[in-house]
Amino acid sequence: MDAWSWSHWGDYVVPLGGALLLGLLVHFGLRLLARRAAQRDSSRARWVRVVTVPMAFALPLLFVSVAVRTVPMPESQLELWIHLLRLALLACVTWLLVRIVGAIESSILRRNPMEIADNLHARRIQTQARVLSRIAMGTIILLGVSLALMTFPAVRQIGTTLLASAGIMGLVAGIAARPVFGNLIAGLQIALAQPIRLDDVVIVEGEWGRIEEISSTYVVVRIWDERRMVVPLSWFIENPFQNWTRSTAQMLGTAFLWLDYRTPMDQVRAELERICHDDPRWDGRVCIAQVTETSEHVMQVRLLVSARDSGEAFDLRCAVRERMIAFLAEHHPQALPRLRAQVERHAEAAGSSPAQLPAAGIPSSPRAEDVDDLPGTP
């Protein structure tokens, strides 16, 4: 009995123990390789870290799954263990594929940094890489979960039942999943057509901000006052919005001043050119002063300047407005708007009042009490 027991246990211990021992050696060896690769900053080292961590779990599971098939255990228990190991291996493969997609995305982002002056091309590439990688990761995870669920007989039976009523269930599922699929399709459109890109300056719902993040379902807009606006991806496909950096980051900025008619425009133009040349935010393209509107009291002067991007354009507009007002106040105070009033003195000194002034030559309209004096009245 003892000999049979040791022989029976040996059928379990030898294959499973050997598989576990080999799996642990492989696991710790791959983890050591990953730690050494983490100390290096090279493309090969990064790929080693991506692959070795999931493989450190997948290979021991593969060894154990092979060893389990050689163990003389009941068929029901064998199927259970094989099923569990198969699920674990599927999870490791899914994890590995997601890490590979993330590594490809990181490699593309490193090769196209946005910390440069003209980053239009880099923003285009980074937007495509981020959106497509999120879609790819979501698809891989969805397929992994679907394959894992399909290994259960009950789920396969449900799938067969659903296929039998595919028309109704497909309609119901399509209506229920419309926002999800809508955002997925919108993500593909944004990645390919690129109406927005990372770090684009946009006006959304009347708010000025920059595109901070583009995920697979929403876009985060960083408002100028540090707030964050979360907008669904489909909104940018279905609604109009302003993109100030669609083709270039260069911007024109305007500063409006209401000035008196006696303003010397030649000196205003000369001062505007001096202000622009002294300000490093001016890009040298546009520097114009024009009278764009007039009223009965003042005239509107538009100071048009250009800058490299919207942020510098805003600061340049404020600087131009402040320095021009200071220049006019110091050198041409008569150019600042003022309220005029005309006071007329009547001839009280001659002893006559306004009611006694002659009204000769000034026609008056007929009144009701004068109707009998009108010509042709009886």
Which residues, other chains included, contact 274 with Cβ-Cβ below 8 Å and sequence gap of 6+? none
pTM: 0.55
- 335 secondary structure, DSSP code: G
| Amino acid (one-letter) located at 194 | Q
Strand pairing report for 251-259 and 201-204: unpaired
Average pLDDT over residues 188-197: 80
Higher pLDDT: 10 or 53? It is 53
Burial of 220 (0-12, 13-18, 19+ CB in 10 A): middle
Whether the predicted pLDDT of 314 surpasses 80: yes
Least confident of 45-54, 88-97, 312-321: 45-54
- Write b or e for each residue in 100-121: b if 16 or more Cβ atoms lie within 10 A of its Cβ, otherwise e: bbebbbeebbeebeeeeeebbe
Whether the predicted pLDDT of 359 surpasses 60: no
Distances (CA, A) of 17 to 25, 27, 67, 80, 341: 12, 15, 9, 19, 106
The alpha carbons of the chain give a radius of gyration, in whole angstroms, of 40
Q: Assign 246 a pLDDT band (cuts: 50, 70, 90).
A: confident
Mean model confidence pLDDT for the chain: 79
- Ramachandran area for residue 50 (φ above 0: left; ψ -120 to 50: alpha; else beta): alpha
Q: Are the C-beta atoms of 239 and 282 separated by less than 8 Å?
A: no
Strand pairing report for 299-307 and 282-294: antiparallel
> Could you give the CA distance from residue 20 to residue 65 in angstroms, rounded to a whole number?
10
- Write b or e for each residue in 244-280: b if 16 or more Cβ atoms lie within 10 A of its Cβ, otherwise e: bbeeebbbebebebebbeebeeeebbebbeebbeebe
Higher pLDDT: 361 or 151? It is 151
Please report the DSSP string for 276-303 in residue order.
HHH-TTEEEEEEEEEEEEE-SS-EEEEE
> Could you give the CA distance from residue 65 to residue 110 in angstroms, rounded to a whole number?
39
Whether the predicted pLDDT of 170 surpasses 80: no
Average pLDDT over residues 367-376: 46
The closest of 179, 43, 152, 40 to 106, measured between CA atoms, is 43
Least confident of 171-185, 194-208, 230-244: 171-185
> Could you give the CA distance from residue 288 to residue 265 in angstroms, rounded to a whole number?
11
Q: What are phi and psi of 222, to 5 degrees?
A: -85, 110
